[in-house]
Amino acid sequence: MQTWLALVSVLIRLPAALDGQLQRDAGISHFEYQVLAGLSMTPERTMRMSELASFSDGSLSRLSHVVGRLEKRGWVRRTPDPADGRYTLAVLTEDGWDKVVATAPGHVEAVRGFVLDPLTKAQTRQLRDIGRRIMRAIDPDDTCLG
Amino acid sequence: MQTWLALVSVLIRLPAALDGQLQRDAGISHFEYQVLAGLSMTPERTMRMSELASFSDGSLSRLSHVVGRLEKRGWVRRTPDPADGRYTLAVLTEDGWDKVVATAPGHVEAVRGFVLDPLTKAQTRQLRDIGRRIMRAIDPDDTCLG
DNA sequence: CTAGATCAGTTGACGCATCAAGTAAAATCA
DNA sequence: TGATTTTACTTGATGCGTCAACTGATCTAG
């Protein structure tokens, strides 16, 4: 019960704190950051919309709206996949890359400050395992986690 | 890093899973449930709006909107606090009490299924401590947690 | 080779959260 | 006592996420 109440607060307040940091320092939401960061991590800075959606834990519809906005800001562009016209490729532009490079350090520091630093090494390891167990309970046939 | 990726998924998917269960089974959001459950836990089934807001980890504005909806559904009513006219008391109605009683078991079971059951006893204890440490890092002068 | 089914993505309407501005009651101070 | 400030809350405009309906491309059966 105590565990649960502690967790509920974290579930609400930690995302709010992280969103706040990104919004203040970079003018983007955490979801937008995940999208840009996801693209930046691939060799070609490119991903299919559906891949990107599951990577960033969002629906395809949500991603479509968000990428639309990111496109207007000049950080992403879309092209049909030459290999299969049903897929759409989201590509990080040069400006988008710069945005990620400028934003990442502050965000990583916030994550450290809020989550990693307050915990012991053992707790950090435990938390990784705890997270995986919970994810398995929520969605047994999920393949996102290593 | 692995810890962080695991945690991000939990932060997004666990609330979604819990919201989903409540929405399907009771037609209310997790926040609405927290509000009703909070009121149901006090002896007089009554709380000041500002107390209720901090209990349920939401802004006063958000609570005001939500209580407005709950009032329309007949589960809560509002009266000015006789002791101080600035405060508004939110009171759980009989129908509201019945709603909580009908909803709680399914929700508790979902929490068990998603969070508590997959973890060992030691992990559950660890998670409580982890949650508190994170909350302290986010908001050092927060008094919500025991 | 073509008719239907399926897959990937987009779009628009609706609901909820957030922010800024507003109201009303109590406290503070002149 | 009256004027100002503070506190508690409400309201309305705006923006984002969700759901259902849609478009177009590819696959499959006959």
Asked whether residue A48, judged by its CB, lies under 7 Å from any atom of the DNA or RNA strand C, the reply is yes
Tell me the DSSP string of B66-96: HHHHHHHTTSEEEEE-TT-TT-EEEEE-HHH
In a domain, A123, yes or no: yes
The total domain count for chain A is 1
In a domain, A117, yes or no: yes
CA–CA separation, A56 and A70 (whole Å): 15
Q: Which domain holds residue B36?
A: 23-138
CA–CA separation, A8 and B119 (whole Å): 16
CB-contacted nucleotides of strand D (7 Å): 7-12, 16-21, 24-27
Asked if residue A146 has pLDDT above 70, the reply is: no
What is the structure's pLDDT at B1?
A: 83
Q: Where are the alpha helices (DSSP H) in chain B?
A: 2-26, 30-40, 49-55, 60-72, 94-111, 121-138
Residue contact A14–B117, C-beta within 8 A: no
- Give the pLDDT confidence of B96-112 residue by residue, as tens digits: 999 999 999 999 999 99
- Give the pLDDT confidence of A9-19 residue by residue, as tens digits: 899 999 999 99
In a domain, A143, yes or no: no
From B13, B117, B138, residue closest to A57, measured CB to CB: B13
B139 pLDDT band (50/70/90 cuts)? confident
Q: Which residues in chain B have Cβ-Cβ distances shorter than 8 Å to A117?
A: 137
**B87: β partners:** none
Strand, helix or coil for residue A135:
helix
CA–CA separation, A54 and B52 (whole Å): 35
Q: Residue A70 in contact with residue A58, Cβ under 8 Å? A: no
Q: Give the rounded percent of residues in chain A with a pLDDT score beyond 70.
A: 96
In a domain, A145, yes or no: no
Q: Give the rounded percent of residues in chain A with a pLDDT score beyond 90.
A: 86
Asked if residue A3 has pLDDT above 50, the reply is: yes
Q: Residue A116 in contact with residue B4, Cβ under 8 Å? A: yes
Distance B35 CA to D11 C1' (A): 21
In a domain, B43, yes or no: yes
Provide φ and ψ at B37, rounded to 5°: -65, -40
- In this structure, what CATH number is given to the domain that contains residue A60? 1.10.10.10
Residue A21 to chain B, least CA–CA distance (Å) = 11
In a domain, B143, yes or no: no
Radius of gyration from C-alpha coordinates of chain B: 17
Asked whether residue B61, judged by its CB, lies under 7 Å from any atom of the DNA or RNA strand D, the reply is yes
pTM: 0.91
In a domain, B17, yes or no: no
**B89: β partners:** B48, B79
In a domain, B119, yes or no: yes
Asked if residue A25 has pLDDT above 90, the reply is: yes
Tokens of B56: 């349920």
